[in-house]
Amino acid sequence: MSQTIENAVALVTGANRGIGREFVAELLRRGARKIYLGARDPASLAGFVALDPTRLVPLKLDVTDAADVAEAATVANDVTLLINNAGFAGGQGVISAPDLSIARQEMDVNYFGVLSLSKAFAPVLAKVSESSIVNVLSFLSLVTLPSAGTYSASKAAGLAASRSIRAELLAQGTRVVVTMPVQVETDMGRSLPEPRLQPLDVVSETLDAVEAGVEEVFPGELTRTVAAAFAADPKGVQAHMSTRLPA
């Protein structure tokens, strides 16, 4: 199953910066009919929405707030493409962290946020013949970086949930695509080691996958190189990553 981006109605969470902002721009270029821009502070979207006010619709959406999620599913009840992009990285280890507050926040956004949006929008997506959910994860869904240990755990949980959601929504015809880049040149990604991918590379290849019917994407040459090494020697790649300890 695949989905055409042209004339799609999309919702992008975390749309006010980084990869989310690039998703919106690329969806516009590919002819999406309408794009809901989800952000905790809709005022942060004002300048962006002004670029194309007929197609861009700001939406107050904190993915950790049940009331916001429910309201979004009511307002954006014509969505055919849900992009769960909002994310949070605290940049800490597990044992070395002073407490569990950052870990809980990462799970709230990166795991429970994906669950709650997917659950809320599943009935909306069921109404159309072509629909997809895109979950923006990380290569750290597969391997653990000790200096971002709790973030890695939250993204691994997001991958497991995505695979379950894919199976559960198969009968209604909704595809679930996960994209797992290595570090990306964004505000959040700058805490991770270089080299870093450009957001446009991640977005472009992810939307290509939606249109081609590909379910799991390793965007960018750097990601594919790491993924090939991991496929050949997963323990070796994890051992290398394990040398990067928390500061």
d(CA 100, CA 208): 38
Strands (E), the chain: 9-12, 34-39, 56-60, 81-84, 131-136, 174-179, 216-217
Residue 195, preceding bond cis, omega within 30 degrees? yes
* Token reading at 233: 């020697």
**Chain Cα centroid distance, residue 57:** 19
What count of other Cβ atoms lies within 10 Å of the Cβ of residue 204? 18
User: What contacts 232, CB < 8 A, 6 or more positions away?
Assistant: none
Active site residue 36: no
Helix (H) or strand (E) holding 6: none
131-136 vs 174-179, strand pairing mode: parallel
Q: Which of 88, 151, 218, 230 is catalytic?
A: 151
Is residue 32 within 8 Å of 10, Cβ to Cβ? yes
Q: What is the CA radius of gyration of the chain?
A: 17
HSE, side-chain direction, 13 A CA sphere, residue 181: 25
* Token reading at 193: 């080691």
Task: Give catalytic residue positions.
Answer: 151
